[in-house]
Amino acid sequence: MIFRVKGMTGVTGVDGSGAVLLETGRLRLRRFTGADADALTELDADPEVMRYLTGGRPTPAEVVRGELLPRLLAGYDRHPGLGRWAAVDRATGMFLGWFALDAPAAGPPSGPAAAGARPTPGVNQAELGYRLRRAAWGRGLATEGSRALLRHAFATVGLARVWAQTMAVNTASRRVMEKAGLRYVRTFHLDWDDPIEGTEHGEVEYELLRAEWAAREAA
């Protein structure tokens, strides 16, 4: 599969908003803009999309507009090369969801996520994430976008490690991680204040190191 890395060209706003990160055969990954608030709200309103995140509870529109989107937009400058990108269907222009390379949280670890995190030296790593509309499921798009973003992470940004986490019972997401080239590392358990169904089976972590990715590319 051929990926065309844009290097943040195709800018549609004077602040870089809407800049295209990369394209695959079917996807265009671009920066979010303030105009994406409704699409993000709609994405997070689908109980099936949110099943393994909140137990199906939607993210309120005011939270998307007032907290999530502003934090997401600010992240592009804070962590160059990393962040969350809107996934758009190249053929139709339809918003499909997003893909992410999230930087490690700054400061001392705290909360459930930190309790499950393994300490690693430095910050030359990021967490792979993806969230797609139900209409985009079952078409290999999550794998396609993840593979392209892994190439960006290692070949362009120069990260040493990319990892991903999900609930152990989220078999669909685990398949995406495996097809994208990540390998299973461990199962761990977190102490949640409001656990959702399936939490009792724990969380799983997958990872891919740059050396592993490079060896596969050279094979």
pLDDT tens across 27-40, in order? 999 999 999 999 99
Angle at 169 between CA 213 and CA 167, to 5 degrees: 60
Q: Please say if the pLDDT value at position 62 is more than 70.
A: yes
What pLDDT, in 10s, does the model give residues 124-143?
999 999 999 999 999 999 99
Q: What are phi and psi of 38, to 5 degrees?
A: -65, -40
Distance of CA 15 to the CA centre of its chain: 23
What pLDDT, in 10s, does the model give residues 143-158?
999 999 999 999 999 9
| pLDDT of amino acid 144 | 98
| pLDDT of amino acid 192 | 84
List of domains in the chain: 4-218 (3.40.630.30)
> What is the pTM for the complete model shown?
0.86
The secondary element (H helix, E strand) that includes residue 116 is helix 111-116
Helix 171-180 × helix 141-151 angle, to 10°:
40
pLDDT confidence tier of residue 17, bands split at 50, 70 and 90:
low
